Structure 1
Amino acid sequence: MAGFSTRPELRGTFGMAASTHWIASAVGMGVLERGGNAFDAAVAMGFTLQVVEPHLNGPGGEVPIIVKPAGGEPAVLCGQGPAPAAAVPEAFAGMDRIPGSGVLPATVPGAFDAWLLLARDHGTLPLRELLEPAIGYARSGYPVLPQIAAKIAEVQEVFTGLWPSSAALWLPGGRVPEAGTMHRNPVLADTYRRLVEEAEAAGGGREAVIDAARRAWREGFVAEAIAEFCSRPVPSGSGEPHRALLTADDLAGWSAGYEETVRIEYAGMTVHKTGPWGQGPVFLQQLRLAEALGTGSADVLSADFVHLVTEAAKLAFADRDAHYADPLFADVPLEALLSPGYAAERAALVGAEASMELRPGSPAGRAPFIPELTVAGTAPGTDRTNGEPTVDRAGTQRGDTCHLDVVDSAGNMVAATPSGGWLASSPVIPALGFPLGTRGQMFWLDPRSPGVIAPGKRPRTTLTPTLVTRDGEGVTALGTPGGDQQDQWSLTFFLRLVHGGMDIQEAIDAPMFHTNALAGSFFPREIAPGELVVEERIGAPALAELRRRGHRVVVSDPWSLGRLSAVARDPETGVLRAGANPRGMQGYAVGR
């Protein structure tokens, strides 16, 4: 069946770039036009997003990237920095959680090294060309999105009262910048310019220059500025002074690296995700449940489809929080979690009525960790109805992110989900023009949890790009921001694409939904039993039927859930396709 579409699905044979911001998409297409490949385009887009979406990602953040070289194997490039060497539970004595703001929850910034490793190993263009768009927008200015202005307004008192370096950057003239005005970050432009110049001065070819820039970040002037900033107490968003655990040794001792994708076969395709240090396998668990439940035969705009997807999501996400963690530190029963037999066992729990219980399973007989959670609505400063992050006046950041997808005519394909280093979560480092990330807040302090914090361990994030192959060729790259909603919105999009007869843009535009009946990954670790958030456009009959089945339905604005983008390639014809989210009037796809 076909659905309503706000825009045409893009089609062509040259190249496609899609992202959560039109500037980044245009930058990616510009790189392709200059002769770069999909990997060059992705790198330039990633650095541009750090500038134009600073409320959603930054240089101090992280990025998981799934790459598919033409003729090569898909791989995960892990740009998730780990916890510092001093990050033991005892370092948070007296706390019941790791704070969501300040410098105490900082992990090793991973995005810069990951993007440059991608450029070195798979790109073709010199470092200067890849960083030039980001430098240009940081120096000359970029338009302030309404969401950026709103975010700054929410934490204005934190900036003026506690974080003067952030106030200097984000409150020009002492005022919140107006939406649509041009904003500049000349210090960040200088940081990236110096990295390029120092790397080029070190000599050598393209790869040597890129490696020199990586060293300058990990061990040179960038690392020195970060270490100096972390050497003294810094107030969190609520005012408590903390000294960061992050040190120069932590920065020097880590670099991005490649891993095999976690994958399953579905509908004649192979779906690739990150390992369980991200939430990626939960997408695959939901696909196994969809097979067991026969979800693919349901009308993808019906209440029955919403019910089946929602109930499967509750089961898969319960397993996520019971069993997922960095597999270098925890024995994650991934084979059992992704087995058809386990899915059939779990699918038997799905009935005609909405479930209200948190029901993690016991794969391979493994007893689940049951987290202690806050019931939604009982903690201040939270809003679970719009799928986007909220920040209270104390600066507590729940977080959100960006996404980009690229494919070129040769069949090279990339899906990446940059995040972290949010402007509202940590003070700007004056010498560098960006804040540290606060991804450490996603660790648990409960020693029973597989996700308990430990030195060198990666936090179990929500960042989760998706790449799909068929007969060894890349066919689709997709993703969305949205924290715990990422692998719900992406899964719904994918099922509608595969089973609903929709093109990319129609599947993005179709009415979206998600459940909040799961353990929130960010403070205050909420759960809302039975809560189902649905865009109003799904229609009154479907809403009534979902309520009849016992779902606690929250009707969201007609265009409010999800920020999906995707690119695709037909290996037989070479035809490329793309689409991007119209919600928020920000995401765009570009191609020809």
Structure 2
Amino acid sequence: MTTRPELQGSFGMVASTHWLASAAGMSVLERGGNAFDAAVAAGFVLQIVEPHLNGPGGDLPAIVWSAADGRPHVVCGQGTAPAAASLRHFAELGLTLVPGSGPLAAVVPGAFGAWTLMLERWGTWELADVLAFALHYAESGFPVLPAISRTIAVVQELFTEHWRPSADAWLDGGRPPQPGSWWRSLAVAATYRRILAEAVGPSREQRIAAARDAWYRGFVAEEVEAFCRTPWRDTSGRDHAGLLTAADLARWQPSVEQPVATPYAGRYQLLKTGPWGQGPVVGQQLRMLDALGLAAETPLSGRWIHLVTEAAKLGYADREAWYGDPLASDIPLDTLLSDGYAAERAALVGERADLELRPGSPDGRQPRLATLPEAGSPAPGIGEPTMGSSEPAGSEPAGSEPAGGGSVSSEPGVGPLGGNRGDTCHLDVADRWGNLVSATPSGGWLQSSPVIAALGFPLGTRGQMFYLEPGLPNSLRPGARPRTTLSPSLALRDGEPWLAFGTPGGDQQDQWQLAFFTALVAAGDGANLQEVIDAPMFHTTHFPSSFYPREAHPGELVIEDRVPEAVLAELRDRGHRVTLAGGWTLGRLSAVAREGELLRAAANPRGAQGYAVGR
């Protein structure tokens, strides 16, 4: 059963989490642009039409296949911590966790740098041309999604009492805009218009570089520093100023890296970011699942779900103990992805659910986990309850959708004090020349931090993913990248670029992607992408969340209630603490595939906004 047709063609395909972004990307392809031009245009549109899920002040990792280069690349738009962001500073503030909202959690906003680097290096269009679509929606208006309205309603009081610039930007007569109403983001449009006016130079590449300078070494950086000097209310329940300066932005630049490649089932390689993202955890799981014989199991059977879930628990335990910015900490990635280590970890998987968090000891090194508060305890370090929501993940009624626009237990729902709880976007593009793009922009949510009035958008809060405890790979360090959950994917088959895919969902991104990828491989060549995306989805919340206040729910398995009762009964018998979600609530996957000259695409129906287009 599929909710919509899988698209097939030979010209080009775009799939994303919003139909307007997909349409913009396809328009670029129709007018002669390549996959990189299309992805950048779609990415800027997502900032406007999904402002509760990403924004200009957010982050971006992407994995691309360049037909001209004949190889893949990771584009890193994950910004770094400010130079003044020390453990001592947070200790002096009485904090043991980085707040989930407000400027204190801001890192350098990397999305603009990454999008423009992608366009400069592999694209063919001018920045003004790819930005035209986003400027149209920002200036002429775009339809307000129900999730945007719900998100603003949750933080309405915060806006009116503490974040006045956000109230001015997002309230209509003091109230949230109505779903389906038309909304404009004129201040964001003015910022991009000014950047384009300053983007001068004798060549296309120099004009794009000049635009990046206007952002990171010009008026945008100056406004960011001025904004961060003012204290603002955050999820700690108190007011804190930010630490970002213009010098922090000037020092940072987007980078291009080699992806981490993991073989699976003989014919396949999965490409992910380095351990500054959670992506390699999928590689660890695939290695374990190969050793456990997952290929012999039927997808979505009780044993199949059990094996996938138990491998996730072990992989994410290693994420907690060993992942961080490899430029700032020694990460034993080669060992974590090795055959021997995978066999050692796979041997821990039994017939019953494991209720412990068990990181391994790569190269004989002893793991160490962060000390975290128990769920529902007072906000760390301030001796008073947090005003943000602290309900257990998966506690919402079956079929509900959090205000952040995600699914049950994706990135947690929005709390009254803002963006500790938000979600993400995703887009995939394939063109007729053999290029592929998988990109997962996020952060800078409208609920994450006060709008910078002079720019029209808020900063992101990715700094909340750092630990304020010394000696961990993901401990806060000035100039380091936080370990992000953003995790695009690109897969090779028989050595050829085959599949670009991904999803929003925070800690669940790579769980949903692994379930999709392994089920697709099991279905064989020519398997219907839409059918696999539409299949029931599941994940575990066994390990600590990457998001404030970092709750964990040992043994919990969240699963859509479309799964047959016999399978649910088997999972309960195995000791899983099953939480039923609504039948169409988990995962927002999209994918594009290349099969020789044939291109295919599909997008998730959940949330009623993702779409694939192509011909």
TM-score surpassing 0.5? yes
Equivalent residue number for residue 453 of structure 1? 476
| 1:19 equivalent in alignment to 2:16 | yes
Query: Which of the numbers 242, 251, 254 marks the counterpart of 2:249?
Result: 251
Question: Is contact 1:66–1:75 with CA below 8 Å preserved after alignment?
Answer: yes
Question: Is contact 2:231–2:241 with CA below 8 Å preserved after alignment?
Answer: yes
How do residues 311-322 of structure 1 correspond to structure 2 at under 5 angstroms? 311-322=310-321
| 1:130 equivalent in alignment to 2:130 | yes
Query: Which of the numbers 555, 573, 578 marks the counterpart of 1:530?
Result: 555
Equivalent residue number for residue 346 of structure 1? 345
Equivalent residue number for residue 222 of structure 1? 220
Output one character per residue of 1:57-101: Cα deviation in whole Å (capped at 9) or x when no partner: 000000001110014210101000000111110110211111111
Report the Cα distance in structure 1 between the residues aligned to 2:223 and 2:564, rounded to whole angstroms: 54
Equivalent residue number for residue 399 of structure 1? 422
How do residues 89-488 of structure 1 correspond to structure 2 at under 5 angstroms? 89-93=87-91, 94-199=94-199, 202-237=200-235, 239-267=237-265, 268-376=267-375, 380-385=389-394, 386-388=408-410, 389-395=412-418, 397-488=420-511
Q: CA deviation at 1:374?
A: 4.3
Aligned residue for 1:172, secondary structure, equals: coil
Equivalent residue number for residue 504 of structure 1? 529
- Equivalent pairs counted in the alignment come to 585
| 1:541 equivalent in alignment to 2:539 | no
Question: Is contact 2:99–2:420 with CA below 8 Å preserved after alignment?
Answer: no
The AA in structure 2 aligned to 1:148 is: I
Q: CA deviation at 1:148?
A: 0.7
Question: Is contact 2:419–2:449 with CA below 8 Å preserved after alignment?
Answer: no
Equivalent residue number for residue 405 of structure 2? none
Output one character per residue of 1:291-314: Cα deviation in whole Å (capped at 9) or x when no partner: 011111111021111001000000
Q: CA deviation at 1:369?
A: 1.5
Question: Is contact 2:390–2:549 with CA below 8 Å preserved after alignment?
Answer: no
Equivalent residue number for residue 398 of structure 2? none
Report the Cα distance in structure 1 between the residues aligned to 2:295 and 2:494, rounded to whole angstroms: 21
Question: Is contact 1:237–1:425 with CA below 8 Å preserved after alignment?
Answer: no
Report the Cα distance in structure 2 between the residues aligned to 1:382 and 1:586, rounded to whole angstroms: 27
Equivalent residue number for residue 397 of structure 2? none
Equivalent residue number for residue 578 of structure 1? 601
Question: Is contact 2:419–2:461 with CA below 8 Å preserved after alignment?
Answer: no
CA-based RMSD of the aligned residues comes to 1.3
Output one character per residue of 1:395-426: Cα deviation in whole Å (capped at 9) or x when no partner: 25133111000000111000010011011010
Report the Cα distance in structure 2 between the residues aligned to 1:393 and 1:576, rounded to whole angstroms: 44
Report the Cα distance in structure 2 between the residues aligned to 1:239 and 1:507, rounded to whole angstroms: 43
Report the Cα distance in structure 2 between the residues aligned to 1:523 and 1:382, rounded to whole angstroms: 12
Q: CA deviation at 1:116?
A: 0.3
Report the Cα distance in structure 2 between the residues aligned to 1:237 and 1:44, rounded to whole angstroms: 33
Question: Is contact 2:99–2:236 with CA below 8 Å preserved after alignment?
Answer: no
Question: Is contact 1:443–1:452 with CA below 8 Å preserved after alignment?
Answer: yes
Q: CA deviation at 1:375?
A: 4.7
Output one character per residue of 1:246-295: Cα deviation in whole Å (capped at 9) or x when no partner: 00100111110101101122231221100000001001001001101111
The AA in structure 2 aligned to 1:559 is: W
- Give structure 1 stretches of 5+ with no counterpart: none
The AA in structure 2 aligned to 1:433 is: G
Report the Cα distance in structure 2 between the residues aligned to 1:11 and 1:335, rounded to whole angstroms: 38
Question: Is contact 1:401–1:419 with CA below 8 Å preserved after alignment?
Answer: yes
Aligned residue for 1:434, secondary structure, equals: coil
Q: CA deviation at 1:378?
A: 6.1
The AA in structure 2 aligned to 1:365 is: G
Report the Cα distance in structure 1 between the residues aligned to 2:236 and 2:469, rounded to whole angstroms: 23
Question: Is contact 1:375–1:528 with CA below 8 Å preserved after alignment?
Answer: no
Aligned residue for 2:55, secondary structure, equals: coil
Question: Is contact 1:261–1:272 with CA below 8 Å preserved after alignment?
Answer: yes
Equivalent residue number for residue 4 of structure 2? 7
Q: CA deviation at 1:35?
A: 0.5
Q: CA deviation at 1:19?
A: 0.5
Report the Cα distance in structure 2 between the residues aligned to 1:423 and 1:231, rounded to whole angstroms: 20
Question: Is contact 1:299–1:500 with CA below 8 Å preserved after alignment?
Answer: no
Equivalent residue number for residue 581 of structure 2? 556
Residues 66-75 or 538-547, more deviating: 66-75
Report the Cα distance in structure 1 between the residues aligned to 2:478 and 2:244, rounded to whole angstroms: 11
The AA in structure 1 aligned to 2:50 is: E
Report the Cα distance in structure 1 between the residues aligned to 2:239 and 2:514, rounded to whole angstroms: 41
Aligned residue for 1:61, secondary structure, equals: coil
Report the Cα distance in structure 1 between the residues aligned to 2:35 and 2:562, rounded to whole angstroms: 35
Output one character per residue of 1:498-528: Cα deviation in whole Å (capped at 9) or x when no partner: 0134411111000000001111111111111
Equivalent residue number for residue 25 of structure 2? 28
Report the Cα distance in structure 2 between the residues aligned to 1:54 and 1:308, rounded to whole angstroms: 37
Aligned residue for 1:65, secondary structure, equals: strand
The AA in structure 2 aligned to 1:336 is: T
Q: CA deviation at 1:234?
A: 2.7
Q: CA deviation at 1:241?
A: 2.2
Q: CA deviation at 1:240?
A: 2.0
Q: CA deviation at 1:173?
A: 1.3
The AA in structure 1 aligned to 2:470 is: P
The AA in structure 2 aligned to 1:528 is: H
The AA in structure 2 aligned to 1:536 is: D
Output one character per residue of 1:32-64: Cα deviation in whole Å (capped at 9) or x when no partner: 001000000000011110101110100000000
Report the Cα distance in structure 1 between the residues aligned to 2:614 and 2:425, rounded to whole angstroms: 19
What is the TM-score of this pair, normalised by structure 2?
0.93
Change (3 A) 1:238 1:174: farther
Q: CA deviation at 1:383?
A: 4.4
- Give structure 2 stretches of 5+ with no counterpart: 379-388, 395-407
Output one character per residue of 1:454-502: Cα deviation in whole Å (capped at 9) or x when no partner: 1110000100000012354310000001001001000000011001344
Question: Is contact 2:499–2:591 with CA below 8 Å preserved after alignment?
Answer: yes
| 1:58 equivalent in alignment to 2:55 | yes
The AA in structure 2 aligned to 1:280 is: G
| 1:39 equivalent in alignment to 2:41 | no
Question: Is contact 1:103–1:242 with CA below 8 Å preserved after alignment?
Answer: yes
Change (3 A) 1:378 1:229: closer
